[in-house]
Amino acid sequence: MTQKEPRLGTAVFIVNEGKVLLGHRKSKHGKGTWSVVGGKPLFGESPEECAIRETYEETGLTITHPQFLTYTNDLFPESATHFVTFWLVAKHTGQEPKVMEPHKIADFQWFGPKELPQPLFLAHQNLLASNPGIMETVVNFFTGSSRASLGQQ
C-alpha cells in the first residue's frame, strides 16, 4: 500500500485600502472558486519566498516582506489530496494586478472582508471556519493593533 503525504501550499492576502485581492480559478484544482494568490513552494523555498514568487507569476505584482498569519489543514476529497496551507499577508504596492496565467485564473478583483464572493476555495473556507474574524484582522494587519490580536495556530 502506498502512503500519501501532505503537500505544502502558500496563500497570500494582498491588502489594498481595506480590501483583498481574489482570483476566479479556472484550473482543475478548485475550478470556479475564488481564492487568494498562492501555490506550492519550490524545494528550499520558504513560504515568504513562495508568496513573493507566486504573486509575481500570477499577477505581475511585486510584494516585499509578506508576514505569516496562520496555517490551515486542507483535505480535498475530490482529488484525494491533503495540503497544509501557510497563510500570509502583504501590502499592495500600487500596481494593478494582471492575469499572468490565463489558463489558471479568469480575473482578479478586490473584495472587502464582508463582501467575499462565493464559492470560496476550500482552503479559504477552512481558514474562515477555524478563525472567525480573520478577514478584519487581515485588512487591518498593517495598522499594528491586529497583529497582537491574531490567535496563531
Phi, psi of 114 (to 5 degrees): -105, 10
pLDDT (tens place) for every residue of the chain, 153 residues total: 456 899 999 999 999 999 999 999 998 889 999 999 999 999 999 999 999 999 999 999 999 899 999 999 999 998 899 999 999 999 988 899 999 999 999 999 999 999 999 999 999 999 999 999 999 999 999 876 554 444 443
Say what the pLDDT of residue 142 is.
Answer: 84
CA 50 – CA 120 distance, rounded (Å)? 22
Say what the pLDDT of residue 78 is.
Answer: 85
Q: CA triplet 139, 142, 146: central angle to 5 degrees?
A: 70
Say what the pLDDT of residue 145 is.
Answer: 53
**All cell numbers assigned to 75:** 483535505
What residue ranges define each of the domains in the chain, with the CATH number in brackets? 7-149 (3.90.79.10)
Element housing 12 (H / E): strand 7-16
